[in-house]
Structure formats: structure tokens, C-alpha cells
Amino acid sequence: MGVSVLFVCLGNICRSPTAEVVFRERVKAAGLEDRIRIDSVGTGDWHIGKAPDPRTQEAALRRGYSMASLRARQVSPEDFADFDWVLAMDDANLADLKVMRPASYQGTLARFLDYAQHTSVREVPDPYYGGEDGFDTVLDLIEDGAEGLLNRVREQL
Ligand code: 4NP
């Protein structure tokens, strides 16, 4: 018995793969890697099969997270059968997921940052078209969310 967590953004090359590696690191540190399954996807199809954005990878590596082996994939309705938690990076992602969610879904569909405990920001801003600072902001928010999320998820184990 375990729990499964899916992170969702638009392209699956910046925010949600960052959340995947940061959360995986926290889960490993807690010794729970055999009990929590983690993946990330995008709502869009533009970057399917691509590695994360180089700027995202560099910002993550500066904090010790390697994302090089990840490849983008697009969300599908079947993901709701596979994941107990489906967590959107922003409100647009959440709206798209609500349309796709089967009526029978018993898991939790929410904004990832609803679990962050040290910020009132509730959306991870899309860094794709912004400056370099955006990638560090994304990491700050995601580290906060990952900590709070792990506290919640482990209650289900
Ligand atoms: P992500 O960032 O949703 O955090 O992966 C984006 C990446 C690419 C695009 C938009 C957002 N794009 O429009 O190509």
C-alpha cells in the first residue's frame, strides 16, 4: 500500500518536473521512496518527449537537484485512475484538469501551493517567458509546497 502523486503544469518542462524532483528528494530524505510514487505531466502537447528547459535544469542543479533524465509527457484522463493526488501548479492548469477529471475520481485534485506553509502565494508562476529570477522563485515556492505536501501525504500512509 502506498500513495501516488502527480504534479501538473502547462508544458511539463519547467514547474511540474521541478516539483517532481524536489518532492522526490524530500520523500527520499524521509525514507519513504518505496511508499510514494511520483510523476509529472503537462496539460499541453508542445514539449512531449523533451528534457526540461535548460534554464530550469541549471537553477535546479544549483540547489543539487538533477532533472536531466526527465522527459515531458502530456496528462490523460487515465492519470486520474493512477494517481491519488493530482496537483496543479496554477489556476489555469487546475481548470483544465477539472474538465478532464472523471466523475468517479476519489483522489485529491488541488493546487500544489495550497499545501505550502510559509507563503500566501497559491500559484507557481510560469517562468518560461520571464527572466532568470523566475526560476529561483519557482524553486522557492516548490520547496515550500513540497514540505507541506509531504506532511499531508504521510498522514495517508
Ligand atoms: P511549464 O512552463 O508549464 O512550467 O513547463 C512552460 C513551458 C513551455 C510553455 C509554457 C509554459 N510553452 O508555451 O511552450
Domain segments of the chain as ranges = 3-154
- Atom 12 in ligand 1: residue holding the nearest Cα: 11
- pTM as predicted: 0.98
Residue 54 CA to ligand 1 centre (angstroms): 12
Residue 34 CA to ligand 1 centre (angstroms): 30
- Say what the pLDDT of residue 107 is: 98
Is there an atom of ligand 1 within 6 Å of 9 CB?
Answer: yes
Kindly provide the residue ranges of all beta strands, DSSP E only, lying in the chain, ordered along the sequence: 3-9, 36-42, 85-88, 108-111
- Say what the pLDDT of residue 1 is: 65
Q: Which residues of 64-98 are buried (b: 16+ CB within 10 A; e: fewer)?
A: ebebeebebbbbeeebbeebbbbbbbbeebbebbe
Query: Is 34 part of the annotated catalytic residue set?
Result: no
Per residue of the chain (157 residues), give pLDDT as tens: 699 999 999 999 999 999 999 999 999 999 999 999 999 999 999 999 999 999 999 999 999 999 999 999 999 999 999 999 999 999 999 999 999 999 999 999 999 999 999 999 999 999 999 888 999 999 999 999 999 999 999 999 9
Using DSSP, how many helices (H) and how many strands (E) does the chain show? 5, 4
- Say what the pLDDT of residue 121 is: 98
For the stretch 95-103, contacts whose Cβ atoms lie closer than 8 Å and that sit 24 or more positions apart, written own/partner, are 96/43, 97/8, 97/43, 100/75, 101/77, 102/77
For cell 502530456, the residue is 74
Share of the chain residues as helix, strand and coil, in percent rounded to the nearest 5: 40, 15, 45
CATH architecture of 3-154: 3-Layer(aba) Sandwich (3.40)
Task: Find out whether 23 and 37 touch, Cβ atoms under 8 Å.
Answer: no
* 102-142: pLDDT as tens digits: 999 999 999 999 999 999 999 999 999 988 899 999 999 99
Task: Find out whether 77 and 105 touch, Cβ atoms under 8 Å.
Answer: no
For residue 120, give Cα distances in angstroms to 78, 115, 124.
Answer: 32, 10, 11
- Say what the pLDDT of residue 132 is: 87
Measured in residues, the chain has a length of: 157
